[in-house]
Each structure stands twice: as C-alpha cells, then as structure tokens.
Amino acid sequence: MAWLNAFLLMLHEMSPYLLLGFLIAGVLHAFVPTRVYSRYLSGTGWRSVVAAALFGIPLPLCSCGVLPTAVSLRRGGASRAASTSFLIATPQTGVDSIAATYSMMGLPFAILRPVAALVTAMLGGNVVGAIERRGNLEQEECGGSCAVAEPMKPTLWGRVVEALRYGFFEMVQNIGRWLVLGLIVATLITVLVPDDFFQTYARWPLLNMFVIVLVAVPMYICATGSIPIAAALMMKGLSPGCALVMLMAGPAANMASMLVISQSFGRKAMWAYLASIVAGAIGFGIVVDYWPGLREVFFNAMPHHHGAMTHEMTVGWFNWVCSILLLVMLIVSIASKYWKSYQIKHHKTNTMKEFKVEGMMCNHCKATVEKGLAQLEGVEQVTIDLAKGIAYVEGNIDEETVRAKVVELGFENG
C-alpha cells in the first residue's frame, strides 16, 4: 500500500504541471511560427542560451512539465544549447515558487533561487553549445530533421484543434513511456529512502550536499513542493546551503527528465545537463554556507513560523481530475500506437517491402521517414509502423537506394 500511496501522491502532484506543459507545447506548435525559434533560440552561443533561460525562469513548470515544452522548442528549431538552458532554468523557479519561497524562507532565498537558476542554465547551455559547435554531439532521435516547418492551420479554430491534438496526444505518445518509467523509478526511490536520511549528515554540510544531490537528483520534487521540506529541515538544523542544494537539484532533474533528455537531445547533452545542475547546486551551496556571515543572513531572514514548515499534501478534486485525465491520455496514446501497428500488420500487401529503421522513436521521426522515402523515384506508398520501427515501402524501388536514404535522414538500417 505504501508503494501505491507514494505513486498516487506523486502522480497527483505532477499531473497538473504535466498537463500545463503539454498545453504549452501544443500552443507553441500551433501558434508560434518556426522562424521565431530559428531567430532567437537556434544559435549555440551565449545569447541564445541566456534568452532561453530568461524565457523559462518565470514559467510555472516543474521538471516533468517542462519536458514536453522543451522537446517542442527543440523540434521547432531551437538549438540543443538553448533547449538545455531552458530545461535547467525553468523547473527551478516560477512565479509561484518564488512567491512561496519568499513567504516561507525569506527574501534572500527568493532572490538567490532565480539567480542560481540563471547561472546554472547558462553553464549547462554553454557547455552543450560548445560541444554542439565542435560537432561532438551524437545524432539525436529525430535525426536532426524534426524541426522541419509544417504549414500552420489557416483559421483560429484549426490552430486550437491542432494545439490540443499535438499537445495532448502526439506529445504524450512521444514521451509518455519515458515519463511512466521515470515515475515508477522515482516512486521506488521515494519509498526506499528514509525520511530522516538527510539529517544523518547534518553536521558535515559539504558531505550533506553530496548526499542530497545523490538522492534528490533522480527523485521527483517540484519547485514549490520542495520549499516546505527544505524549510522544515532547516528548522531542524540543516544548513541554508544544503537547503539551497535541495531547492535547486531536486526540482531541476528527476529520472524521467534524464531519460527523455537522453532520448531527445542525446546522451552527451544529458550528461552536460546533469553535471551543470550538480555543479551549480553544490557551488551555490558552498558559497551560502562558507562565505563569512552569509549563513547567518539566510537563517535570520527565514520566518520562524513552525506551522508553515510542515509539508502535507492535501489531494483535492482538481488533482484527481488532472491525474485521471493524464492516465487516460497515456493509455489512449500508447494503445493507439500499438493498435496502429496491429492494423498495419493485418492490412499490408505482399508487394510491400519491409525495412527496419533503427532510432525511429516518435511521431516526428515517423513523419521524417515518410516524407523522405516518399520522395524517392518509384515509391508509390510508404507506411510506417512506429511501434516496431519498420517502414513498409510499395513501388518499383531499389532496396539499396531506400537504405541509403534512411541513413541520409539520420537513422540506421536494422
């Protein structure tokens, strides 16, 4: 029962932010022209990195809610450097969490959180940008072709429908399984790690920071939900620097986000993202704890209202509705993917030639392969089984030409 309760509580806390993230992703896809991303966020230099961080800091998105938005930005033309910067900065803050931080932990924390988020995002984004400029990033799941512009719907109603379709179906289908896997792993960590684990090493702040990072990074903690936990631990003697590490590292990453980033941006970008979060959190934590007199400033500025230091999540009807909607969307999107595979299997003709396409992970990949193969001479029809990663091609074609085109599109032949 403890496992189920932990899973449900985490789902209730995550689902509103995830739905908001999917909605924002849909709106960006349907209403924002691709040229906006290519103009402001396509570069790998510091300007694009800073712009992405400033764009993300005020958004009230957690480390899971930010995922569909960031993936949508990337596929809309933003560089991996800018997308990484957005991924790091956004979940650490938000107008709601900044206000809550001020009310529960004082003005110094409320000021330092967005500043730390900006610096950390710039660090991670610039590292990814440097790797990207040298061409050392591995090919991402979409073969670098997912940013192909699609014609926007001509009417307002058409764009609204497209935003809902893209955000609440296609994006859920693209990254849903990674979110589910990350949620399960985070639930296991939440149940297995004792509640007083952080307090065990409270006498050694630097060691405590590493312990907090080790546990908080893979575990889901939202930016707002982490505030009362950090405040309560400070009231029990945890140092302000360690509390800041929790406020930065916990919301900025979890197992789900690391899995999705690895799949969407590449493993090197994921490691750069993770390293910048860890380095930034510990670096700012050391400054707060070891800079002369600064620790006392944070302690003295903290409101000592014990009643505000307890963190009990009351699950209301809104959280239940969001959780049920999210579960239904996940079931429908995953089921439709495999139902489509079933239909293809039972309706394919003997004249279709089968080609295994490695690395085809999402609907953007599917569209890329379909369009690319359809342009080949002699091709009459292309049918993609995304669940199995197979392209069925019909027509008078040369098989080696098809395989060469698959490689040209950024994928591999199975």
pLDDT in 10s for each residue of the chain, 414 residues? 777 887 787 777 778 877 887 888 788 778 877 666 657 777 778 888 998 888 888 776 666 667 767 777 777 778 888 888 988 888 888 776 787 788 778 899 989 999 999 999 999 889 888 887 776 555 554 444 444 445 666 788 888 998 898 888 887 877 777 677 767 776 776 677 665 665 566 667 788 888 888 877 877 666 766 777 777 677 767 789 988 998 888 888 777 678 777 777 778 888 988 999 999 999 999 999 889 888 889 988 877 544 433 344 566 888 899 889 989 988 888 788 778 777 777 777 777 888 888 767 677 678 778 888 888 888 888 888 887 888 888 888 888 888 888 887 767 776
Residue 336 lies inside a defined structural domain of this protein? no
Based on the fold, state whether residues 60 and 188 are members of the same structural domain: yes
Q: Where are the alpha helices (DSSP H) in 253-398?
A: 255-265, 267-290, 294-301, 317-347, 363-374
Do both 170 and 256 map to the same domain?
Answer: yes
**Is residue 334, in this structure, part of any structural domain at all?**
no
Question: How many residues would you count in the chain?
Answer: 414
Are residues 406 and 283 part of one domain?
A: no
Residue ending a domain, among 294, 329, 364, is 329
Measured between alpha carbons, how far is 132 from 274 in angstroms, rounded to an integer?
16
* Strand order from edge to edge, sheet including 353-358: 379-385, 390-395, 353-358, 412-413
Residue 319 domain-assigned?
yes
Domain that holds residue 396: 348-413
Residue 107 in domain = yes
Give the predicted TM-score (pTM) of the model. 0.61
Asked, for residue 92, whether it belongs to a domain, the answer is yes
- 133 and 183 together in one domain: yes
- Do 359 and 320 fall within a single domain? no
Strand partners, 384: 391
Residues 171 and 223 in one domain: yes
Cα distances from 162 to residues 17, 27, 328, 364, 387, in angstroms, run 20, 8, 19, 15, 23
232 occurs within a structural domain: yes
Residues 11 and 148 in one domain: yes
**Are both 313 and 390 inside the same structural domain?**
no
Note whether 248 and 393 are same-domain residues: no
384 phi, psi to nearest 5 deg: -110, 125
CATH number at residue 387: 3.30.70.100
CA atoms within 13 A on the CB side of 323: 15
In a domain, 170, yes or no: yes
Token reading at 147: 């940013």
Provide the domain count of the chain.
Answer: 2
The answer to whether position 342 is within a domain reads no
Q: Do residues 366 and 273 share a domain?
A: no
Neighbours of 232 (CB within 10 A): 17
Tell me the backbone φ, ψ of residue 143, rounded to 5 degrees.
65, 20
pLDDT at 144: 42
Q: Please tell me whether residues 310 and 367 are part of one structural domain.
A: no
Is the domain of 321 the same as that of 173?
Answer: yes
Predicted pLDDT at 189: 64
